[in-house]
Amino acid sequence: MKKIKIIIFLLFSPVSPLNIRFITQPNREIAYSVTQPSQSSGEVASSTPLLILNGFGVGQFHQERIVNSLSKSQSHSFSKIYTLDYLGQGDSWPLGVPPTTTLDSIGTSESESDLSYSVETWLKQVHEFITSTINSDADPDRKVVIAGNSLGGYIATILVERYPSLFSTLILFNATPIWGGVLAKSPLSSWDGVLPSPSKFERWIGKTLYNQIRNPSNVNTLMSECYSSPVAHESDGICAKIINAASHNGGHAAFSSILFSPGAVEGSRFYDNLLSSPHHRHIRVLGIYGRDDPWIDGRFSRRLFDSFKSSNLAEVRLVELSNVAHCPNHEAATACTTLISRFMRATPTLLEQQNEIFIDEAWGGKTTANEITDVKLPTLQKLFVEFLQRVAS
């Protein structure tokens, strides 16, 4: 019976693909999308744009459900909804990269020279996209709502920290508090991730691990960890889309660079004093976290939002979703849309009741939502979370 219900949802609730566009820059192409939400005649149009940032290893296709859901929402909270592929992921790549034939050829094309696939590169890319594309008409009063899942949440938080005047609202879906190449501090190499790599050693590590990670069996295994229910990602072929995006000629060089590139300067204090200056006082923060996340569990979200609540921000709210894991933006798009719409309307309560039930329109999954008002952690748990974050940053 459950499978029949899911099939019915898939037949009658199709998700439209995003309309991908490209920005051509010297030696590279950046892929993005812009969606205009539906609007009834006579309604006052919103002037607030929303930018949704991806997690690591996926493309804009991972935002199709939530963009579709938000664009059809009756709340009309946003003027336009933007998505973006980071350089070296999805459809954003250097131009003219030849096929990888030998280790010596990895990362050596002209368009890859002096390129680093670091979080600083992505921060710069997203900031430039906001200022030159989203705010291209230079409206001094327009502020962007920025949202991000996993790595996207990390990038979004640091952008708000650096450029508070650009933003009004930060929305986090299981944001990772940690980013930086796993080999960035390794004694095996002093390489900082700027291409080309100095020796075959770094290229061999990158190529070997990349081939393992993009292996279809391993992608399926990873997705089973990212989702509480396999049907949530199987129903729209996320694994196949990830594998296809990872087939680009520049993939080996990109992954090698990622492994050895450092994290952001602010990463070491992700739980300490972020968004705490007087310039951040107008910022509103909404967290929507999947409770079944095997990596970013409730201790991490509570520690982060405890820090936010200590920073005198305009508003800080945290909601946990049951039967949802690392990607609530995709696994529970309907619930996320409802919560975001209520938050943007500044409703006194985000939930009609604790344990409010949502049925996802895209695939039929059920989740219950609870707002977490007490984000304080016991001292030992707080110290444990901070220790893990600092060691890994």
Amino acid occupying residue 215: N
Least confident span in 16-25, 41-50, 69-78, 178-187 = 41-50
Q: What is the pLDDT of residues 87-107, one digit of tens each?
A: 999 999 999 999 877 899 999
Task: Note the pLDDT of residue 1.
Answer: 46
Residue 50 pairs in a beta bridge with: 81, 145
Residue 75 confidence class, pLDDT cut points 50, 70, 90: confident
Q: What is the pLDDT of residues 261-307, one digit of tens each?
A: 999 988 877 888 899 999 999 999 999 999 999 999 999 999 999 99
Q: What is the pLDDT of residues 144-182, one digit of tens each?
A: 999 999 999 999 999 999 999 999 999 999 999 989 877
Q: Which domains does the chain have, with CATH numbers?
A: 2-97+119-179+267-392 (3.40.50.1820)
According to DSSP, the β-strands at 49-53 and 144-149 are parallel
Task: Note the pLDDT of residue 290.
Answer: 98
Give the residue among 116, 61, 111 at the shortest CA–CA distance from 84. Answer: 61
Residues 6+ apart with CB under 8 A from 55: 62, 148, 149, 150, 151, 152, 326, 327
Tokens of 47: 């002037």
Q: Which is higher by pLDDT, 364 or 43?
A: 364
Give the phi and the psi of residue 73 in degrees, each rounded to 5: -65, 145
DSSP string covering 195-215, please? SSPSSHHHHHHHHHHHHHHTS
User: Rounded to an integer, what distance in angstroms lies between the CA atom of residue 162 and that of residue 301?
Assistant: 21
Q: Which is higher by pLDDT, 104 or 137?
A: 104
User: Rounded to an integer, what distance in angstroms lies between the CA atom of residue 326 and that of residue 337?
Assistant: 17
Specify burial of residue 141 (Cβ count, 10 A radius: 0-12, 13-18, 19+): exposed
Long-range interactions of 239-242: CB distance < 8 A, separation 24+: 241/58, 241/59, 241/61, 242/57, 242/58, 242/59, 242/214
Using CA of residue 24, residue 25, residue 26, residue 27, what is the dihedral sign? negative
Instruction: Give the SS3 label for residue 263.
Output: coil
Task: Note the pLDDT of residue 387.
Answer: 77
User: Rounded to an integer, what distance in angstroms lies between the CA atom of residue 388 and that of residue 128?
Assistant: 32
Instruction: Calculate what percentage of the chain has a pLDDT beyond 90.
Output: 77
Instruction: Give the SS3 label for residue 312.
Output: coil
